[in-house]
Amino acid sequence: MDALLEYTWVVVALPLLSAVLITAVGKQLPGKGSEIGIAALGLSWLLAIGIAWQTFVASPVEPLERSVDWTPLGGGFVFELGMLVDGLTAVMLLLVTTVSFMVHVYSREYMQGEPRYTYFFAMLGLFTFSMLLLVVANNLLLAVIGWELVGLCSYLLIGFYWEGKSNQDAGNKAFLTTKFGDVGLIVGVIVLSAGMFGLTDTPFNILEINEAAVAGQLSTTTIVLGMLLIFLGCMSKSGQMPLHVWLPDAMAGPTPVSALIHAATMVTAGVFLLARLYPVVAQNQAVMATIAIFGVLTLFFGGLLALVQDDLKKILAYSTISQLGYMVAAIGVGGYAASIFHLFTHGFFKALLFLGAGSLIHAVHSNNISDMGGMAKAMPHTFWTFIVGSLALAGFPLTAGFFSKDEILIAGEIWAGAGFFTGSLVYWVGLAAAFVTTFYMARACFLIFAGENRSHHTPHESGKLMLAPLMVLAVLSVAAGYLLSPFSPEQPNFETWLATPLLPAETTFPFTDEGTAAASGLVGDGVLAAGTSLAAAGDGPVKVLHGVPTWHPDLLAIVLVLFSLAVFLAYRFYGKGLPERDPTLSMGRFTDVLVAKYGFDDFGYRYIVVPVRDKLSAAATYSSNVLIDGMVAGVGRATKNAAMTTYRVVDQQVIDGGINGAAFSAAWWSDKLKRIQSGDVQKYAGVLVAGTILLVLAFAAAR
């Protein structure tokens, strides 16, 4: 293994350094700190490319793990600060640094003149650091830390324009919704680590958890409970229904932020985490089925919502939700590599689309596609890059999106072949959703670029700093697909790149019937050598899960037909500009349901936020102020009453009772006794002598 991988931590540290430096000295610099960010990310990017290259060409590679004991946690357990570098890490590093670098460059121009320009770059740096921390983490706790930090950055950047109430609300909504999912993540991580207690001192270590799961050392309860809970976290972070509600609102942030955080990187953290724990996921059919079903629901219904949006960023947001659904569903049908492949390509083309959208919004000062139109002429570069992105998103053949989405569909097909219903679900619903995707993207493109300019501004092409990232990403949106395509049948390709640290063939999907699985091509000879037994695979070529990527003419045909149909329909409706009545908004109840976003937001607000924030909290306060305090006060009053009773009954009526009674009796007795003090000295003397006599007598008697 080359020494470069040892320096993976530098990739992570550079953005943090950038954030700190920008905060410290950014304002004094000519570029207001943006140059620091760009330089740091550039370096980081180059290093990530190096790492990616090394892991790719040599793939599959043994994972490289380096850690230091960071703190004891008690009971002999240790929290490590460590990195785990393998193909998956390298892919994510490459994706994050690339997009982040592009966004940095883009933002330098895009954010020009905005308030808090320096702060923006510092936050970008902090976010990139957090995301990379999550990616390279060798243990779940560190991953959770990165996870929470990206959530914070997301909150801070969504609420970047915090003067407006809706932006504040969007930030809060994003943070709290994801935080709700974090309940699942945190408890899930805790449950998994609890399963490791007897096995190791580092119960959060991802590799060890994976190995333990594969070796059958984790109980089914641990796996099912832990993974379902973690999946809850993934759902909120990766916008799976019904926890997707925050993502469209998150578009309140600046567009580069949407591109970086809410399209390419942070929202994929959930998918990434599932992939990281894929050996655990693969242990249980129920877990996989759950994941697949939620993924399918999201990919379809999320996509539908994009149909009725007017806000370009929201269209993209819903499409992001839909694409994330593909990735999650892929995990659920054994399409581990397909999922990450889609994550990878989607990161590029969705970032491209968002940055393109930013360029458009910059030009027309509106987010709404109904305010655009005819942009193709005014903004040619934005136009063609946006179209490339849209094609990739729609899965037009030979773009990256086509290859990656097809991998998912094929994974579904194979899964179905192994006898699982969810496989067919993914295949057919995935195809249907592809049609929807094509349609709404075509709708958006026609409305934006065709027809007449409906904006009140004269659109102008953006500057070089904004266009360059668009072009780079456009190239990547096409080129990335060739990493796993019929054009790259031999290793190394994307699948061998990721082929660590997976399962030994014989223990893959322990719940499948071996014969069926083999027949369907799900498992087979030497398939996916595991991280632990990689050496046993020898030096020969390693076969990958779904075999060598090949053309699937049937699928290609269906995809082409659906694509043409969708584009044709869109052209009919929107080709001539904005129609009087937008067909997607004229579908009666169907439109109503979509516009109401299936009622999730409303439900959440009306039945969760309001009751908790207003009713339950008031009830709790009431119980604190009135019930508990009242109880204590009641005890106090009761005591007082009891005391009054005591006083009246015992003290006053039974005079000698209680303290006052004692006092009164003392007074009474003293009143009687004081009469002895008559002042008659002679009597005193008499008594004195009498006493003496008595004493003498007493002594005499005693003797």
Partner 1 sequence: MDPNTAGWALVVALFLPLAGAGALTLMPASMDREIRRAAVAITAVGFALVAAVTASFDYSRAGELQFTTDVPWITAIDARFSLGMDGISLPLFFLTSLLTLLCAIYTTKPLPSPGKPKAFLSLMLLLQTGMAGTFVAFDLILFFIFFELTLVPMFFMIGMWGGPRRDYASVKFFLYTLFGSVFMLVAFLAIYFQAGANSWSITELSNMAPFGSTTFQTWAFLGVFLGFAIKVPVWPFHPWLPDAHTEAPTVGSVLLAGVLLKMGTYGFIRIALPILPDGAARFAPMIGVLAVIGIVYGALCCLAQTDVKRLIAFSSVGHMGFVMLGIAAMNEAGIQAALFGNIAHGIITGMLFFLAGSMHERYHTREIAVIGGGMLKKMPVYGVLFTYVAIASLGLPGLAGFWGEFPAMWAAISPGLGLADSYGGLYLGLVVFAAIGTVLTAGYFLWLIQRINLGEPTERWANEPLADVQAIEWVSWLPLLALILALGIFPRLLFGGQDAAVTNLVGFLGG
Partner 2 sequence: MSPIGPLLLAAFLFSAGVYGVIARRNAVLVLISVELMLNAVNINLVTFQNLLFPGDPAVTGQMFALFIIGVAAAEVGVGLAIVFNMFRNRASVDVDDADLMRW
Partner 3 sequence: MTGHDLVFVAVGLLTAGGAVFTVTSKNLMHAALFFAVTLGGIAGVFLTLAADFLALVQIVVYVGAVAVLFMFGLMLTRAPIGREALDGQNRGLAMAVAGGLFVVLSTLVIGAFGDLPTAEVTGPRIDDLGIAIFADWVLPFEVLSMLLLAALIGAIVLARRESGESGEELTVTRIEMAQDRDPEALEREQAALTSGSGGTGEEHA
The sign of the CA dihedral 461, 466, 472, 478 is negative
> Taking CA 523 as the corner, what is the angle to CA 517 and CA 528, rounded to the nearest 5 degrees?
160
Q: Is residue 38 a contact point for partner 1 (CB under 8 A)?
A: no
Instruction: Give the largest Cα separation in the chain, rounded.
Output: 138
The residue among 506 and 680 lying less far from partner 3, judged by its C-beta, is 680
Helix (H) / strand (E) element for 295: namely helix 285-297
> Quick one: which of 219, 533, 550, 624 contacts partner 1 (CB under 8 A)?
624
Minimum Å gap between C-beta 186 and partner 1 is 5
Q: Which long-range contacts link 118-121 to residues 24+ away (Cβ below 8 Å)? A: 118/22, 118/23, 118/26, 118/27, 118/32, 118/33, 118/34, 120/157, 120/160, 120/254, 121/18, 121/22, 121/26, 121/32, 121/33, 121/34, 121/36, 121/37
| Residue 677's binding partner out of partner 1, partner 2, partner 3, none, with CB under 5 to 8 Å set by partner kind | partner 2
| Residue 113's binding partner out of partner 1, partner 3, partner 2, none, with CB under 5 to 8 Å set by partner kind | none
Q: Which long-range contacts link 696-699 to residues 24+ away (Cβ below 8 Å)? A: none
User: By the 8 A CB rule, do 495 and 545 touch?
Assistant: yes
The residue among 675 and 703 lying less far from partner 2, judged by its C-beta, is 675
Minimum Å gap between C-beta 240 and partner 1 is 18
Minimum Å gap between C-beta 638 and partner 2 is 43
| Residue 674's binding partner out of partner 3, partner 1, partner 2, none, with CB under 5 to 8 Å set by partner kind | partner 2
| Residue 681's binding partner out of partner 1, partner 3, partner 2, none, with CB under 5 to 8 Å set by partner kind | partner 2
Burial of residue 152 (CB within 10 Å: 0-12, 13-18, 19+) is middle
Q: Name the segment binding partner 2 (CB under 8 A); options: 513-521, 561-569, 633-641, 674-682.
A: 674-682
- Which structure tokens are listed for 393? 């998103």
> Quick one: which of 554, 588, 677, 703 contacts partner 2 (CB under 8 A)?
677
Minimum Å gap between C-beta 675 and partner 3 is 14
Q: Which residue has the tokens 């770059």?
A: 121
The residue among 456 and 675 lying less far from partner 3, judged by its C-beta, is 675
Nearest to 185 by CA among 144, 127, 130, 238: 144
Binding letters toward partner 2, positions 681-700, x by CB under 8 A: xxx-xx--x-----------
- Which structure tokens are listed for 664? 């009164």
| Residue 693's binding partner out of partner 1, partner 2, partner 3, none, with CB under 5 to 8 Å set by partner kind | partner 3
> Quick one: which of 183, 556, 663, 685 contacts partner 1 (CB under 8 A)?
183
> Quick one: which of 622, 678, 694, 695 contacts partner 2 (CB under 8 A)?
678
Q: Name the segment binding partner 1 (CB under 8 A); options: 102-110, 139-147, 523-531, 652-660.
A: 139-147
Minimum Å gap between C-beta 668 and partner 3 is 21
> Which stretches of the chain bind partner 3, using CB under 8 A?
680, 682-683, 686-687, 689-690, 692-693, 696-697
The residue among 184 and 401 lying less far from partner 1, judged by its C-beta, is 184
Q: Count the residues of the shown chain that bind partner 2, applying the rule CB under 8 A.
A: 12
| Residue 111's binding partner out of partner 3, partner 1, partner 2, none, with CB under 5 to 8 Å set by partner kind | none
| Residue 697's binding partner out of partner 1, partner 3, partner 2, none, with CB under 5 to 8 Å set by partner kind | partner 3
Minimum Å gap between C-beta 690 and partner 3 is 5
116: left (phi over 0), alpha (psi -120 to 50) or beta: left
- Which structure tokens are listed for 165? 């109430």
Peptide bond into 549 cis (omega under 30): no
Minimum Å gap between C-beta 642 and partner 2 is 38
> For residue 127, which amino acid is it?
F
Q: Is residue 675 a contact point for partner 2 (CB under 8 A)?
A: yes
The residue among 286 and 690 lying less far from partner 3, judged by its C-beta, is 690
Binding letters toward partner 1, positions 44-73, x by CB under 8 A: --------------------------xxxx
| Residue 595's binding partner out of partner 2, partner 1, partner 3, none, with CB under 5 to 8 Å set by partner kind | none
Kindly write down the DSSP assignment for every residue of 73-136, as one continuous string.
Answer: EETTEEEEEEEEESHHHHHHHHHHHHHHHHHHHHHHHHTTT-TTHHHHHHHHHHHHHHHHHHHH
> Quick one: which of 186, 257, 274, 528 contacts partner 1 (CB under 8 A)?
186
Q: Is residue 642 a contact point for partner 1 (CB under 8 A)?
A: no
Q: Is residue 674 a contact point for partner 2 (CB under 8 A)?
A: yes
- 663, HSE (Cβ side, Cα atoms, 13 Å): 6
CA distances from 506 to 215, 338, 500, 517, 528 (A): 11, 21, 16, 11, 10
* Calpha distance 480→219 (Å, rounded): 39
User: By the 8 A CB rule, do 121 and 104 touch?
Assistant: yes
- Cβ density class 395-412: b for 16+ within 10 Å, e for less: bbeebbbbbbbbbbbbbb
* Calpha distance 203→40 (Å, rounded): 34
- The residues binding partner 2 (CB under 8 A) are 674-675, 677-683, 685-686, 689
Write out the residues near partner 1 by the rule CB under 8 A. 70-77, 79, 141, 144-145, 148-149, 152, 155, 159, 162-165, 168-169, 171-172, 175-176, 179-180, 182-183, 186-187, 190-191, 193-194, 197, 612-614, 616-621, 623-625, 628-629, 632
